[in-house]
Amino acid sequence: MADPELDIAANRSARKYDLGDLARRVLWGVGAVLFRWTPRVLYGVRNALLRFFGAEVGQHVRIHPSATIYFPWNLSIGDWSSVGEEALIYNLGPIEIGAQVTISQRAHLCAGTHDASDPAMPLQKPPIAVCDQAWVCADAFVGPGVTVGEGAVVGARAVAVRDVEPWMVVGGNPARTIKERTLNPDASS
């Protein structure tokens, strides 16, 4: 039996995006430069630019200018949420970020992968959801098709490749439950 072999030529010749997406990608190349050049405090300008390119952006959203958002038209982010410095929103597939969510610095949300069992390794674009009040900490990775439940915390440098239950704190690689998250209502006073 011959050794199996990858078919890279088939992968490269496959149409991964329709013409509309290709045109938007070219235009966003210019928009992304404007996004990066805006001073940090101009959150509203960046939000307006993202909306112009098809993102659904809630009120009081703060996205740092060094964050990378691949396809704004595949992004939804709720009220009072934030995306930190150098965060990577690789949203080949849809990424939905709820309300009051924190995506910390250098976090990576990856809504794109390949089918490694197929010799042509076709592109896949499974969605990601980060539900209300969740926190994806510094340098954490959230993989394709993962849902981070309401109020959950993906700890610093954790690798979430499976769904994270609501109000749980996970850490490690692969991420495992550490404890339940509880909020102290007296702490904010």
Q: Is residue 23 part of a domain?
A: yes
Residue type for 7, please? D
- Asked whether residue 13 is domain-assigned, the answer is no
Six-digit token string for 189: 């006073």
CA atoms within 13 A on the CB side of 15: 6
159 φ/ψ angles, rounded to the nearest 5 degrees: -125, 100
| 188 belongs to a structural domain | no
pLDDT of residue 81: 98
Residue 6 placed within a domain: no
Is 189 a member of any domain?
Answer: no
CA–CA separation, 123 and 112 (whole Å): 7
Q: How far apart, in Å, are the Cα atoms of 114 and each of 8, 111, 188?
A: 12, 11, 44
- Paired tokens of 178: 């550490």
What residues make up the domain containing 142? 19-180
In a domain, 112, yes or no: yes
If we measure between CA atoms, which residue out of 112, 109, 88 comes closest to residue 98? 109
CA separation for the pair 92, 113 (Å, rounded): 9
Residue with tokens 């909306």: 51
pLDDT in tens, the chain (189 residues): 567 788 999 888 888 888 988 999 999 999 999 999 999 999 999 999 999 999 999 999 999 999 999 999 999 999 999 999 999 999 999 999 999 999 999 999 999 999 999 999 999 999 999 999 999 999 999 999 999 999 999 999 999 999 999 999 999 999 999 999 998 877 766
Q: How many CB atoms lie within 10 A of CB 58?
A: 16
CATH code of residue 121: 2.160.10.10
In a domain, 153, yes or no: yes
The model's pLDDT over 38-61, given as tens digits with 9 standing for 90+, comes to 999 999 999 999 999 999 999 999
CB atoms within 10 A of CB 116: 8
Q: How many domains does the chain have?
A: 1
In a domain, 94, yes or no: yes
User: Do 138 and 106 contact (CB within 8 A), yes or no?
Assistant: yes
- DSSP letter string, 45-92: HHHHHHHHTT-EE-TT-EE-TT-EES-GGGEEE-TT-EE-TT-EEE-S
113-114 and 135-136 strand pairing: unpaired
The number of CA neighbours under 13 Å toward the Cβ of 57 is: 22
The residues facing 159 across adjacent strands are 141
